C-alpha cells in the first residue's frame, strides 16, 4: 500500500465558492480558527479547527498559522517572464515601449543559459508574492519556453506558457514565420502540454505583429490540440487600436480580428481589453474567452482604464494580470490596490471580496483550471498563501482596529505587498517562507 501523507494548517481560512458580484457575501467562506487538511498535496477538508482536530490521527503534522490568513494561492492571468529585467523602464507608451525596451530585452533569450537564469528568478519571485498559478508569455525563442517550464516544474508550480509568434512589424532578429511558428509551437505542445502541472498556450504577441497567415496557423494549432490554451493582447492603447484598423481594414473592431480567425474560445485569455465596445464584450462572454485586467501596467503605460463593471455585467470571465514588465509589481496585492483605483476612476467600486475572488477563483475560472485550483474545495491541489497581519507596522496598527473580514482584506490589498506574504505553499509543501526560499 502506498503511504499517504497527511498535513494540517491552522489559521483563518478564507476562500470563495462563487463570484461575490452575483452572490454577495455568501460567495465567501471564512473559518476564523480554521483547519485546512491536506492529503497527498490535495485538499482533504476544511472547517473549524476544534471540530477537525478531534478527528485527525494523532500523528498528523500540524502547522500553526494562527493569527494569519490562509487564502488560495493567487492566479496571475497575464505576465511576461522575459520582461523581469526591464520592469520600470521610463517614459514611453505601448508602441515606443515595445521598440525601445521590450524587443531589445527579449532578444537576449536566444541564449538558453540566460533564459534559465531569468526563469529561476522569475518563478521564485512569483512564490515570494503568493502566486501559485500563472499564465506566462515567453519570447519568440523555443528555448525560452523550455527554460520557464523547467523552472516551474522544479517547484511543482501550475504554469501555462507559450512561445511568442511574431512574423512582422518587429526586428528581423525576433521574427519567425507562419511555418516555423507552427512547427516550434507543435513541438513545444508535444513536449510540455499536460506534463505534471504544465500547460501550453498558443501565443501570437498581438495582431500587429502577426500576418493573417500566422493567425490562421494559431487557430490550426488550437484545432489540432484540444485543451491547449491561447493568449494574446487586445485593445490596450488608442494608437495601437488605430494601427490594427489600418492593418486589418476589413475588421469591425480590434477584437474582431481575433474573432474572424476563430481565436475567441474557451481557454483564450486576452490581456487588457480596455478599448472595447458592448458588441466586443458580448463576443468575449459568448465565446468563453477571458479578459485579463492589468491595472498597474495600464496606469504605467498610460493605456487607459479597464471597466470591470461593464465586463461583469456582460458576463465576461475576468482575471487579474500583473503584466510584468509593463506592470510594475509581481504582487497581486499591489495589483488589486491599483485595480480598485482604476475602478474608482471609472466611477465604480471594486469590493475587497470581489477583488480577492478575481485574484483566486476568478483567475482559475478564466483559465478553466477551477477543477484543480482557485479555492479549498476537497480534491483541489493545496496551493495557498499565508498573509501576515503584522507584516508592517502600519498594516499591524490599522488591522488591530479592523475586525470585519472584508475591511481586513481591503487593508491587505491597499497596504500589502510581498512583505505581507508569510509563506506560499504549493501542493501542501512550503515553497517560500518569508526571509527564506526553500
Contact positions toward ligand GUN, by CB under 6 A?
Answer: 80, 94, 98, 102, 205-206, 233, 236, 297, 323, 326
Contact, 155 vs 424, CB < 8 A?
A: no
Nearest distance from residue 324's CB to ligand GUN, in Å? 9
Check binding of 235 to Zn ion (CB under 5 A). Answer: no
Q: Which residues are registered as beta bridge partners of 135?
A: 160
Residue 248 backbone phi and psi in degrees, to 5: -125, 70
State how beta strands 436-437 and 429-433 pair.
Answer: antiparallel
Residue 102 or 360 having the CB closest to ligand GUN? 102
From the list Zn ion, ligand GUN, none, pick the one residue 129 interacts with, judged by a Cβ distance below 5 to 8 Å according to partner type. Answer: none
Q: Closest residue (Cβ) to ligand GUN?
A: 326
Residue 27 or 98 having the CB closest to ligand GUN? 98
Residue 206 or 330 having the CB closest to ligand GUN? 206
From the list ligand GUN, Zn ion, none, pick the one residue 236 interacts with, judged by a Cβ distance below 5 to 8 Å according to partner type. Answer: ligand GUN
Nearest distance from residue 42's CB to Zn ion, in Å? 32
Q: Which residues are registered as beta bridge partners of 320?
A: 293
Q: How many amino acids of this chain bind Zn ion (CB under 5 A)? A: 2
State how beta strands 317-320 and 290-293 pair.
Answer: parallel
Residue 292 or 360 having the CB closest to ligand GUN? 292
Nearest distance from residue 435's CB to ligand GUN, in Å? 32
Residue 81 or 200 having the CB closest to Zn ion? 81
Dist CA 100 CA 208 (whole Å): 17
Check binding of 361 to Zn ion (CB under 5 A). Answer: no
Which residue intervals of 171-302 are DSSP H helices?
178-192, 212-224, 238-247, 254-260, 278-287, 295-300
Assign 243 to helix, strand or coil. Answer: helix
Nearest distance from residue 88's CB to ligand GUN, in Å? 14
Q: Which residues are registered as beta bridge partners of 160?
A: 135, 199
Query: According to CB under 5 A, which residues from 392 to 421 bind Zn ion?
Result: none
Residue 159 or 324 having the CB closest to ligand GUN? 324
Looking at residue 209, the DSSP 8-state letter turns out to be: G
Residue 106 or 388 having the CB closest to ligand GUN? 106
Q: What's the burial of 180, exposed, middle or buried (CB within 10 Å: 0-12/13-18/19+)?
A: middle
Nearest distance from residue 279's CB to ligand GUN, in Å? 22
Residue 307 or 323 having the CB closest to ligand GUN? 323
In 3D, which of 165, 178, 277, 294 has the Cα closest to residue 231?
Answer: 165
Dist CA 209 CA 168 (whole Å): 5
Residue 324 or 426 having the CB closest to ligand GUN? 324
Q: What share of the chain is helix, strand, coil (3-state, %, to 5)?
A: 45, 25, 30
Contact, 321 vs 120, CB < 8 A?
A: no
From the list ligand GUN, Zn ion, none, pick the one residue 322 interacts with, judged by a Cβ distance below 5 to 8 Å according to partner type. Answer: none
Nearest distance from residue 138's CB to ligand GUN, in Å? 11
Check binding of 323 to Zn ion (CB under 5 A). Answer: yes
**Which segment (19-27, 90-98, 268-276, 395-403) binds Zn ion by CB under 5 A?**
268-276
From the list ligand GUN, Zn ion, none, pick the one residue 387 interacts with, judged by a Cβ distance below 5 to 8 Å according to partner type. Answer: none
**Which segment (215-223, 243-251, 315-323, 352-360) binds Zn ion by CB under 5 A?**
315-323
Dist CA 409 CA 391 (whole Å): 14
Check binding of 271 to Zn ion (CB under 5 A). Answer: yes
State how beta strands 164-165 and 158-162 pair.
Answer: unpaired
Contact, 359 vs 403, CB < 8 A?
A: no
Dist CA 189 CA 191 (whole Å): 5
Which residues would be at the binding site for Zn ion (CB under 5 A)?
271, 323
Amino acid at each position: 500500500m502506498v503511504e499517504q501523507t497527511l498535513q494540517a494548517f491552522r489559521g483563518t481560512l478564507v476562500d470563495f465558492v462563487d463570484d461575490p458580484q452575483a452572490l454577495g457575501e455568501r460567495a465567501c467562506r471564512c473559518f476564523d480558527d480554521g483547519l485546512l487538511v491536506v492529503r497527498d498535496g490535495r485538499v482533504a477538508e476544511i472547517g473549524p479547527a476544534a471540530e477537525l482536530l478531534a478527528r485527525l490521527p494523532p500523528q498528523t503534522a500540524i502547522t500553526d498559522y494562527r493569527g494569519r490568513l490562509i487564502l488560495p494561492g493567487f492566479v496571475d492571468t497575464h505576465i511576461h517572464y522575459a520582461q523581469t529585467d526591464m520592469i520600470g523602464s521610463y517614459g514611453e507608451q505601448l508602441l515606443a515601449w515595445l521598440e525601445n525596451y521590450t524587443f531589445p530585452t527579449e532578444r537576449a533569450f536566444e541564449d538558453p543559459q540566460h533564459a534559465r537564469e531569468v526563469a529561476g528568478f522569475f518563478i521564485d519571485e512569483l512564490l515570494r508574492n503568493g502566486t501559485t498559478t500563472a499564465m506566462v508569455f515567453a519570447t519568440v525563442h523555443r528555448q525560452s519556453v523550455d527554460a520557464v517550464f523547467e523552472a516551474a516544474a522544479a517547484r511543482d508550480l501550475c504554469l501555462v506558457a507559450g512561445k511568442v509568434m511574431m512574423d512582422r512589424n518587429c526586428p528581423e532578429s525576433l521574427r519567425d514565420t507562419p511555418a516555423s511558428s507552427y512547427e516550434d509551437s507543435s513541438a513545444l505542445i508535444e513536449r510540455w502540454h499536460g506534463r505534471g502541472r504544465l500547460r501550453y498556450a498558443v501565443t501570437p504577441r498581438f495582431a500587429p505583429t502577426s500576418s493573417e497567415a500566422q493567425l490562421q496557423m494559431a487557430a490550426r494549432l488550437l484545432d489540432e490540440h484540444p485543451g491547449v490554451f491561447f493568449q494574446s493582447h487586445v485593445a490596450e492603447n488608442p494608437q495601437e487600436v488605430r494601427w490594427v484598423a489600418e492593418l486589418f481594414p476589413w475588421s469591425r473592431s480590434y477584437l474582431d480580428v481575433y474573432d474572424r480567425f476563430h481565436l475567441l474560445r474557451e481557454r483564450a485569455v486576452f490581456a487588457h481589453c480596455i478599448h472595447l465596445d458592448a458588441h466586443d464584450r458580448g463576443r468575449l462572454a459568448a465565446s468563453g474567452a477571458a479578459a485579463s485586467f492589468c491595472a498597474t501596467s495600464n496606469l504605467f503605460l498610460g493605456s487607459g482604464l479597464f471597466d470591470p463593471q461593464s465586463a461583469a455585467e456582460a458576463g465576461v470571465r475576468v482575471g487579474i494580470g500583473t503584466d510584468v514588465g509593463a506592470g510594475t509589481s509581481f504582487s497581486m496585492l499591489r495589483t488589486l490596490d491599483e485595480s480598485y483605483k482604476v475602478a474608482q476612476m471609472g466611477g465604480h467600486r471594486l469590493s475587497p471580496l470581489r477583488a480577492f475572488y478575481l485574484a483566486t477563483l476568478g483567475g482559475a475560472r478564466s483559465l478553466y483550471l477551477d477543477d484543480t485550483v482557485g479555492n479549498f474545495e476537497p480534491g483541489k491541489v493545496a496551493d495557498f498563501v499565508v498573509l501576515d497581519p503584522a507584516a508592517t507596522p502600519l498594516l499591524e496598527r490599522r488591522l488591530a482596529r479592523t475586525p470585519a473580514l472584508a475591511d481586513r482584506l481591503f487593508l491587505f490589498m491597499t497596504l500589502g505587498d510581498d512583505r505581507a506574504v508569510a509563506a506560499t505553499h504549493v501542493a501542501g509543501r512550503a515553497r517560500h517562507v518569508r526571509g527564506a526560499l526553500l
